Amino acid sequence: MVDTIKPGSVPISRRDSFNTRDTRTRNLKPFNSGDIKILLLENVSAMAVDILKKAGYQVEFHTKALDKDTLIEKIKDVHAVGLRSKSKLTEEVLSHANKLLTIGCFCIGTNQVDLSYAASRGICVFNSPFSNSRSVAELIIAEVILLARQLGDRSREMHNGVWNKVSKACYEIRGKTLGIVGYGHIGTQLGVLAESLGMHVIWYDILPVMPIGMSRAAGSLDEVLAEADFVSCHVPETPETKNMIGERELALMKPGSYLINASRGTVVDIDALAAALNSGHLAGAAVDVYPSEPLANGPGFESPLRNCPNTLLTPHIGGSTEEAQRMIGIEVATSIVKYINSGASVNAVNFAECDLRAIPSTDLATVRIVNVHQNVPGVLRQINNILADYNVNKQISDSKGDVAYFMADVTVNDPKEINTIYEQVTAIQENIITRVLF
């Protein structure tokens, strides 16, 4: 999978690069930016659309996810795809992506993309793991209060014309214990907000993490479940986290406690949770994610949790705020532009993270070689042998799993030599993708 280039067909740009510390640098571009096609799905932020259009790319925008057959047809001719959580880029879909260079997940999770297969095709995947952390944390705090006061049930009753003023089993959250499962960026922000409201915070994480504020690390998940009045899950979707909160774990929770899940739909056994709610063992739950979610808005949502007592169900909106979507749009769109134009893979999910400092605007003879290859012995030696007759100003190489990434800035005085380098590198048996950036 390679790009075709023609000597002299790509103009040198003297615009400012992404190196904001020195505006006297070149903005590299692989070819006429108008030839770059971007497919954006699921109504990603208008800020992302604006950034990609300002980069000169052709942008096709869709407000919803596409069905598999349509997606396969669309992906054949694009260089980048932007999506949120509903579109599924499986091996079957990606096998038709003949020109695809990068995928932007405008969300935290990347389980909707076959990351290993994408890497094997030289497709770099980016996401935005931190931009919506505050939005999710605020939603959890709101749900803690709503559950403690049974406000979901009271609101539904009022809409049905029923006046039911009660105080039984309604509580303040001050002095209660919040248990956080997964003390990452969302978990830590949630803990800070909870302490500011007078809650005690305990948490469990598989990694050693420095506690923030007065929070306390628990020795095990079971300890959190047994001690907390509210348990909130903030873990990724992995084989280890599938149904990590099941019948056994729910039984360990305090009678009258509450469970909140805004992480991934496979983390909680939904049937077991419904049984714990209907039996009265749990006093309530708030769920924002589900094992299977509709592809589009509208009727038809089914779940065992529907009509369970004091149960808040929301349609995967934890990070759905204007602020979060704007920040996600900026972060992911900028990563896409940087990767296409300069080869920077910083913040990549399935690639080694590499970057080189910008090329000075006065240096018109330097080109950047960007190569993705199979991570086996001897490839770097072959590449360096090809570049041995040229002045290599700087280079970097790193690997992740079975795929390695190489970048080098090379002085080339004769434009015809650019094609020579390109053809020789792409001829290496282990080559996946080679690009030359001017």
Of 2, 142, 1, give the one whose Cα is nearest residue 422: 2
Two tokens at 402?
């079975």
- Give the residues across from 124 on adjacent strands: 102
pTM for the model: 0.78
DSSP state of 231: E
Q: Does residue 285 contact residue 313 with C-beta atoms inside 8 Å?
A: no
Q: Does residue 43 contact residue 30 with C-beta atoms inside 8 Å?
A: no
- Give the residues across from 311 on adjacent strands: 285
pLDDT of residue 29: 63
User: Helix (H) and strand (E) counts for the chain?
Assistant: 13, 16
**Helical residues (DSSP H) of 5-132, grouped into ranges:** 46-54, 68-75, 91-94, 115-120
Q: Determine phi and psi for 83, rounding to 5 degrees.
A: -150, 170
Two tokens at 388?
């041995």
Two tokens at 89?
């880029």
Annotated catalytic residues are 264, 293, 316
Give the up-direction half-sphere exposure of residue 141: CA atoms within 13 A in the CB hemisphere: 22
Sequential pLDDT tens for the chain (438 residues): 444 444 333 333 323 333 434 456 777 765 445 589 999 999 999 999 999 999 999 999 999 999 999 999 999 999 999 999 889 999 999 999 999 999 999 988 898 999 999 999 999 999 998 899 999 999 999 999 999 999 999 999 999 999 999 999 999 999 999 999 999 999 999 999 999 999 999 999 999 999 999 999 999 999 999 999 999 999 988 999 999 999 999 999 999 999 999 999 999 999 999 999 999 999 999 999 999 988 788 999 999 999 999 999 999 999 999 999 999 999 999 999 999 999 999 999 999 999 999 999 888 899 999 999 999 999 999 999 999 999 999 999 999 999 999 999 999 989 889 999 999 999 999 999 999 998
- Quick one: angle between helices 185-196 and 133-148, nearest 10? 50
Of 110, 44, 41, 126, give the one whose Cα is nearest residue 78: 41
Amino acid letter at 43?
A: N
SS3 state of residue 411: strand
| Rounded Cα–Cα distance for residues 415 and 246 (Å) | 63
411: Cβ–Cβ under 8 A, 6 or more apart, which residues? 365, 366, 390, 391, 392, 393
Give one DSSP letter per residue of 329-379, joined into a string: HHHHHHHHHHHHHH---TTBSSS-----PPPBTT--SEEEEEEEEE--TTH
